Structure 1
Amino acid sequence: MILLTRRATFSASHYYWNPNWSEEKNFEVFGKCANRNGHGHNYTLEVTVSGTPDPITGFVVDLKWLKDVIEDHVLSVYDHRHLNHEVPEFETAIPTTENMAVFIWKRLELPVASAGGAKLSRIRIYETPDIFAEYRGELDATRGAAG
């Protein structure tokens, strides 16, 4: 079994807001990240797939194909967007790095599985060089670490 990781970068803005809380509570919990005008990040996304290399090509998956899948299913939706207002997942969820990792997994799991033999193993998304969230699918959820 080989793990193969592809990186991609994108820029997006967001804010943290729980609509069930008062403005005061949102600012108490989320601080300046609750500013409804939002703020932006240059995110780094790592998509890790696992599988056995093909005996003819030596690939777990073709890296150009994986780049295209990430572009089609994630970057085209997230890049240069205000996540709260333009990305369907975040109409009802707070666009934290943790939630982004889970939603990106959901966007990529089936397309990667369609590659024949490859499996999505990990999503890691960096909000800043010092902050990242990692998700490994339902295995994490059963351990209580879903993001």
Structure 2
Amino acid sequence: MDKTAIVRCEHFNAAHRLHNKNWSDEKNKEIFGKCNNPNYHGHNYELEVKVIGVCNAEIGYVIDTKILSHIIKEKILNRFDHKNLNLDTEEFTDLNPTAENIAIVIYNLLKPEIDPTLDLKIKLYETPRNYVEYPY
């Protein structure tokens, strides 16, 4: 049987600062520019969670979207929405909250909740013109 993908779209708002504590203020500003603002800045993140697999013959779903929505809310939205990623989340205590790292963290939080026979892909839009896909 062929594989099918189901995509659940969500969004969350979060602040962050891109900063490497091992670098000088000058180097951080040079590399990260405005994103290194010591007072942080925010994004309206758009999240696409894609689950890929063979449809269950009995129900016709790859995954029930109500279940997927609940998992995303519990594991991602409740954790990151309206938070300062640098200050309010343990995941980014020592990890620079770039879009790439946020997408990887989201994947790692969701993957254990998804049937291991299913594939998971994350697409995270930081702006309408910039997004990250993981895994690629």
TM-score range, shorter chain: over 0.9
Contact 2:107 2:120 survives alignment (8 Å): no
Q: Distance in 1 between matches of 2:68 and 2:78?
A: 14
Residue pairs, 1:54-93, within 5 angstroms? 54-93=56-95
* Structure 2 SS opposite 1:105: helix
| Structure 1 unaligned residues grouped into runs of 5+ | 141-147
Indicate if the aligned counterparts of 2:111 and 2:120 stay in contact, CA closer than 8 A.
Answer: no
Which residue number corresponds to residue 143 of structure 1?
none
Q: Give secondary structure in 1 for the equivalent of 2:23.
A: coil
- What is the CA distance between 1:50 and its match in structure 2? 1.1
- TM-score by length of structure 1 reads 0.88
Partner amino acid for 2:131? F
Q: Does the CA-based 8 Å contact 1:108-1:120 persist in structure 2?
A: no
CA RMSD of aligned residues (A): 1.1
User: Quick one: distance in 2 between partners of 1:84 and 1:25?
Assistant: 19
Report if the CA contact (8 A) 2:10-2:48 is conserved.
yes
Q: 2: distance between equivalents of 1:20 and 1:89?
A: 18
Contact 1:7 1:46 in 2 (8 A): yes
Counterpart of 1:133 in structure 2 is 132
SS at match of 1:36: coil
The 5-angstrom pairing of residues 93-104 of structure 1 reads: 93-104=95-106
Quote how far apart the aligned CAs of 1:120 are.
3.4
Written as runs of structure 1 = structure 2, the 5 A alignment for 1:1-147 is 1-113=3-115, 117=117, 119-136=118-135, 140=136
Runs of 4+ in 1 over 6 A off after TM superposition: none
Give TM-score scaled by structure 2 length. 0.94
Distance apart, 1:51 and its partner CA: 1.3
Tell me the distance in 1 between the aligned counterparts of 2:127 and 2:98: 12
AA of the residue aligned to 2:123: R
Displacement of 1:73 in angstroms is: 0.5
- The residue type paired with residue 95 of structure 1 is P
Give me the whole-angstrom Cα distance separating, in 2, the residues matched to 1:72 and 1:121.
17
Q: CA deviation at 1:52?
A: 1.1
